[in-house]
């Protein structure tokens, strides 16, 4: 399935906090999916453990590629996932505001 340009298809990781609980998933529309997690409706696991911070994502053109990457990464050891997060996001910041442009909007309002 080809993705339209209005959606960001990706494999992603959410965390509860730095070095906290990690959730790994893939989505046809990353912004919509992370919004669901943040609203507590993304999954029972993320709602139960407060895993809502988008700490890493990798975009793909096809959902099949994103799912393949997700399934491969689910076999990884935790420290491999942690290293991947910390390579580009050493403080485990929530990337969602940057992804949605909310951070830019706040700056322009100031």
pTM over 0.85: yes
The yes-or-no verdict on residue 1 having pLDDT over 80 is: no
The pLDDT confidence band at residue 42, using thresholds 50, 70 and 90, is: confident
- For the chain, what are the domain ranges? 9-109
The pLDDT confidence band at residue 101, using thresholds 50, 70 and 90, is: confident
Pick the CATH number of 9-109 from 3.40.1440, 3.30.70, 1.20.1260, 3.40.50: 3.40.1440
pLDDT of residue 4: 56
d(CA 60, CA 65): 6
* Buried b or exposed e, range 47-80, using 16+ CB within 10 angstroms: eebebbbbbbbbebeebebbbebbeebeeeeeee
């Amino acid at each position: 399935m080809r993705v339209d340009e209005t959606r960001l298809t990706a494999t992603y990781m959410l965390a509860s906090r730095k070095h906290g609980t990690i959730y790994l998933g893939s989505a046809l529309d990353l912004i919509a999916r992370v919004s669901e997690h943040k609203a507590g409706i993304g999954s029972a696991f993320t709602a139960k453990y407060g895993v809502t911070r988008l700490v890493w994502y990798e975009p793909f053109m096809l959902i099949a590629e994103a799912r393949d990457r997700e399934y491969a990464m689910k076999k990884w050891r935790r420290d491999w996932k942690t290293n991947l997060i910390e390579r580009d996001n050493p403080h485990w910041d929530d990337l969602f505001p940057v992804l949605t442009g909310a951070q830019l909007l706040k700056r322009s309002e100031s």
